Amino acid sequence: MNRKILQYGRHITAIILIVFAWVIYRRLAAGGADAVILLAVTAVVIWFAGTILFIHLWPLLTVNGFKRAILKQGFDGHPIPANTIYAVSGRNSRNTSGNALMAAGTDDLLYVIGWLDVKAKPLMLHVPDMDGRYYSIQFTDPASGSNFAYVGKRVSGTGAGIFLLHDSRWKGNVPEGVTRIAAPHGLALVIGRVFAADDDDRLRAYAFAKQIQFTAFEPV
pLDDT tens digit sequence for 66-76: 788 888 877 76
**Torsion sign (Cα): 85, 89, 91, 97:** negative
Q: What is the pLDDT of residues 23-46, one digit of tens each?
A: 666 666 666 666 656 666 666 666
Grade residue 52 by pLDDT with cuts at 50, 70 and 90: low
pLDDT greater at residue 53 or residue 109 = 109
Q: Helix, strand or coil for residue 108?
A: coil
Lowest mean pLDDT among 29-33, 125-129, 139-143: 29-33
Least Cα distance to 195 among 136, 134, 154, 138 occurs for 134
pLDDT greater at residue 202 or residue 58 = 202
Mean pLDDT, the chain, rounded, equals 80
Q: Is 2.60.40.1610 the CATH classification of the domain at 74-216? A: yes
pLDDT greater at residue 146 or residue 93 = 146
**Per-residue pLDDT, 134:** 96
- A 10 A CB-CB count for 21 gives 10
**Per-residue pLDDT, 102:** 55
Domain ranges of the chain: 2-72, 74-216
Q: What is the pLDDT of residues 148-206, one digit of tens each?
A: 999 999 999 999 999 999 999 999 999 899 999 999 999 999 999 999 998 889 999 99
Q: Per the confidence metrics, is the pTM higher than 0.85?
A: no
Measure the N-to-C terminal CA separation of the chain; round to a whole number of Å. 46
Provide the 8-state DSSP code for 100: S
Per-residue pLDDT for 54 more than 80? no
